Amino acid sequence: MLNLYSAQIESISLHRVGNKSKNETAFLSAEPFTLNDEMAGLLKEYFFKPFREKEENYFQFSHEVDLEFNEVFNAVTEIFKNPSKVHASSKKITQHLFEQSNHPHIKSGEVFVAHFSDMVVDNQKIDAVGIFKSELKHDFLQFREKEQNLDIFIRQGINTNKLDKGCIVFNINQEEGYKVLSVDSNRYDAKYWLEDFLGVAPLADENFYTKNYLKFCQNFAKDVVLPAEDKQQEVLFMNRAVNHFAKNDAFEETSFLNEVMENPELIPEFKHYKVEKGPKYSIEDVSNFDISNKAVSDSRKKIKNVINLDTNIQIKMDFINPESAQKFVEKGWDEERQMYYYLVYFNKEQKS
C-alpha cells in the first residue's frame, strides 16, 4: 500500500528537453531549483495526483544484457547512495531522456527530478526519486491594470491538474531493479517513456498476478462460459471467482477450480484455455501466489455484472454472495411467445 501524504521534497532540479529530430536542444540548469513552501505544496500535488488516482501497477528496471547497463537505474542509485549528487544525476537522467527524444511525435518539455523523503510503501518509510515531464502547453488569460482600463493578455503554461509523464522510484529491492510506478497521460508515445527511456518491465508481485489472473478469468468467462452456457452463468462465474480471491490470502489453482467451476466439464476447458491464452497474461506457469486485496477491489469495480437483453432491458446482478443470483433470478423459455425470460424475486422495490 502506498501513502504519499507524508512525503517531503528534499531537493529538486529543473531542466528542459527538446526533440532531436527537429534539431532542438536540451537545456540543463546549472544549479538545483530553490523551493519555497508554497511552491513545494503546489508541485507535490502536481506530481502525486495521478499516482493517487491510478492503480498501483509496479515496474522494475531491467536490461536485456544486465541491469548495470540501465542508465536511469544507475543515476537513481547514485542519488540514493549520495543525495548530495542529486543535481549531477538529474543532468544524466535528462540527457538520457533527450537522447531518446528522436521521434517526430515526441514533444519537448520541462523535466523535474526530485528526491523525496518519508514515502510510505507497505508501511515502510523510505526515500524515493521522482522524474516528471510536462509536455502540453495551455493558453491562459492574465489581467493587468493599464491607466484607466483593465487589459488582458494571453499567456502559455502547463496545467498543474494534469501531469503528462512521470515515474517514482522507491528505494526498495535495489538488486531486482527497485519498485517503480509510472504514469503517462499521452499514450501516443508510451514506448518512448517506459521502454526507451526508463527501461522497465512489469514487476511480477502479488498485485501483478492477482490482477492478471482475474483478467484471464474474465476473458475465459466471455470466450468459453458464455458460449457454452449463457450470460447469467458468465456473470455468476466471475462473481464466484472474485469472491474466492476476496476471502483468501493465497491462491491455489486446484482449490479455486473446485470451488468456482460449478460445471466440472469446463475444468479441462479452463486448463486448455490457460495453455493457449496464459502467456498473454504472464500466468501460464503460475498456479500459486499471494493475493493482493487492493487488486481484488480494483478488479471488482471493473467487472460488469450486467445482462443486456435485446428488448432494451438490463439486469444488474450485483451480488456479494453469488448463490443469491440463483436464488432470486431464474431463467426459462416461454413456448407460447417463443422467447426466453428471466423471473426475478424481490420483497420490495428500492428507492433510488
Domain boundaries, the chain: 2-203, 207-344
Cell of 346: 424481490
CB 15 within 8 A of CB 90: yes
pLDDT of residue 326: 67
Which residue type, as a one-letter code, is found at position 50? P
> How many residues make up the chain in this entry?
352
pLDDT of residue 208: 92
pLDDT of residue 307: 79
> What's 82's DSSP letter?
-
Q: Residue 309 and residue 306: Cα distance in Å, rounded?
A: 10
Residue closest to 345 by CA, chosen among 326, 327, 328:
328
Residue closest to 128 by CA, chosen among 173, 169, 88:
169
* pTM (two decimals): 0.78
Q: Residue 183 and residue 205: Cα distance in Å, rounded?
A: 19
Could you read off the pLDDT tens digit of each residue along the chain, which spans 352 residues?
Answer: 788 989 999 999 999 999 988 989 999 999 999 999 999 999 999 999 999 887 778 999 999 899 999 999 999 999 999 999 999 999 999 999 999 998 888 899 999 999 999 999 888 899 999 999 999 888 888 899 888 889 998 988 888 888 999 999 999 999 999 999 999 987 766 689 999 999 999 998 899 999 999 999 999 999 999 999 888 888 889 989 999 999 999 999 999 999 999 888 999 999 999 999 999 999 999 999 999 988 898 888 777 777 788 888 887 776 556 566 667 777 888 888 888 888 888 888 877 6
CB 342 within 8 A of CB 330: yes
pLDDT of residue 217: 95
pLDDT of residue 259: 92
Q: Residue 122 and residue 314: Cα distance in Å, rounded?
A: 41
pLDDT of residue 142: 87
pLDDT of residue 159: 86
Cell of 218: 474474465
Q: Residue 76 and residue 68: Cα distance in Å, rounded?
A: 12
Secondary structure (DSSP) of 257-303 = HHHH-SSTTHHHHHHHHHHHHGGGGT-TT--EEEPPHHHHHHHHHH-
